Structures are given as C-alpha cells and as structure tokens.
Amino acid sequence: MRMRPTLSWTPAEDLPPGSTDPEPVVDALRSGGVLVLSGAGISTESGIPDYRGEGGSLSRHTPMTYQDFTAAPQARRRYWARSHLGWRTFGRARPNAGHRAVAAFGRHGLLSGVVTQNVDGLHQAAGSEDVVELHGSLARVVCLSCGACTPRRELAVRLEEANPGFEPVAAGINPDGDADLTDDQVAGFRVVPCTACGGILKPDVVFFGESVPPQRVEHCRELVRAATSLLVLGSSLTVMSGLRFVRQAALAGKPVLIVNRDQTRGDQHALTRISLPLGSALSSVSLRLGIPVD
C-alpha cells in the first residue's frame, strides 16, 4: 500500500497571528548560543519548492517511500529516472539571502549550531560549518547491501552513460530533487548497481516512511540542550522529525522563535512567529545586528 506523507495539520487551539517585527530574533542572536533549525522554506528563494506551503509539491506529488523503493525494481527505475533529471536542476541551485545570513551569524559566533531538514546542501554552499543534515544529502549515494557511500556526481556520470539521449521535459522539480515525469517518460530507463558489490543504490537521504538514524536524533537533542534558544526557519513542523526539537526546547524553558509565513505546528510552543519572507526577514535582522551578508 502506497504511504501518503502528512499534508497538513489542524490546530488544536486558536493560535495568534504572526508578527512582522523581527526584533525578538535580533535580541536572541545578540545573546548568542542560538540553534538554527531550517526547513524547505529557506530554499524556496533559491528556486527549490517546498512541500507544504502555498503551492507546495505535496498537493500534486507523492514522494517515494522507503517501502516502495526497496520492494520493487520498477519503483527504483521510476525514482532514479526522475531524480537523475531533477539532479541537473537541483545541482544548479545557489544559496539565497537566507542561507547567507545564517552563515554570517555563524561566522560572528552567534550560533551554537545549524540543523537542517533540507537535503540540498545550500547552507554549506553559503559557508555554514558543521551543519547537521537531519534527513541526509542528495550529494551522496549509499549501497543498501555493502554500505559503500559515494558522491552523487559519480552516479550521475554512470547514469548518463547507461541512458544516452535521456532528455525528457519535466513538468516541475520537487524539494527532494524528483522531477515530475510520466510513466511513459521513465519506461526503459536503466538503473545501475553498486560498483563494489552489485547491490541496490539509494540516495543518502531519509525517505518518507524511513526513520532518522537514532544517533543523529540524539546529536540534535544534545545541540538543543546546549543552546540558549531555538530559531526555526522555514519549516511547517508538520512532522515529528523537527517538531520534537521544538517541544524539547520549550519543555526546557528555552525560547523558541519561528520565521515562517504560514502557521506552523510549533506555534503554540513559540515565543513568537515572524510572518515574513525569510530572505528579507533575515537580511533585516543582519542589518540591525550590523553584520554584513556576503
């Protein structure tokens, strides 16, 4: 049975409207020790759509689940055909003002860490260091049999060689790098095996229906414990993957601040939610702090 990712949530209580004043974020950063938790919304200004915002991809696209991927060769063919095409566009995305602001905050010693739910590598491309990729990275490929981890660019070359002339026109690109292609467009696409053992290759990301590795979750919990506050950027917090850290911070009495245009599942735990576009909001914050954003 195909699993359907969680599309939305229903507030259990009336939540206050978002603010347009980023000053609480400025105050938190001035105090230092801020842990950033980012979601797909921080990458939309780089041309990568989000899952659940206005026009989010989940309204028209069901991402591959771990169960489907491991169960059927045709599911893997569908995934790798679509992902191979999407990788070309995904790989051209560049950091936006939001990513650059987070990197600048880190360089000036205001952050205790960065945890991202994104798999696009844009925080690192902007200059952020020691980023915890909660859901992994599309830049790596792992073998499900022997565990060998290799760069995605190497797989891209092998897929090009195995599928010469594969140039279908996609209807769109999704946050997981998956291009919208029809079954007819992916028919005949050749999937390549692990060069070390011949096993099944999978992107080194956490699929829907798959759990984040426990040691990675615990590392993030340690970061929350060490932080003075938690700053959520561009996440709806619909799924427990990120929401658990918001709940942990709030339970420990640490301020939670959210910058997201729409309501989130974590609003009830937050000191404030800033309802502004991330790029302009974080640029304003950096300006008030006197920190230049490259």
Residues with catalytic annotation? 135
- Give the DSSP letter of residue 3: -
Cα 164 to Cα 227: distance, rounded to the nearest angstrom: 50
Any known ligand binding at 200?
no
Q: Decide the pairing of beta strands 131-133 and 111-116.
A: parallel
Any known ligand binding at 277?
no
Q: Are 114 and 105 in contact (CB under 8 A)?
A: no
Any known ligand binding at 47?
yes
Q: Which helix (H) or strand (E) holds 69?
A: helix 66-71
Any known ligand binding at 40?
yes
Any known ligand binding at 199?
no
Q: Name the 3-class secondary structure at 113.
A: strand
Any known ligand binding at 220?
no
Cα 160 to Cα 125: distance, rounded to the nearest angstrom: 25
- CA 63: distance to chain centroid? 14
Any known ligand binding at 283?
no
Q: Are 233 and 98 in contact (CB under 8 A)?
A: yes
Any known ligand binding at 45?
yes
Any known ligand binding at 234?
yes
Binding positions: 39-59, 117-120, 143, 146, 194, 197, 234-236, 278
Binding positions for Zn(2+): 143, 146, 194, 197
Binding positions for NAD(+): 39-59, 117-120, 234-236, 278
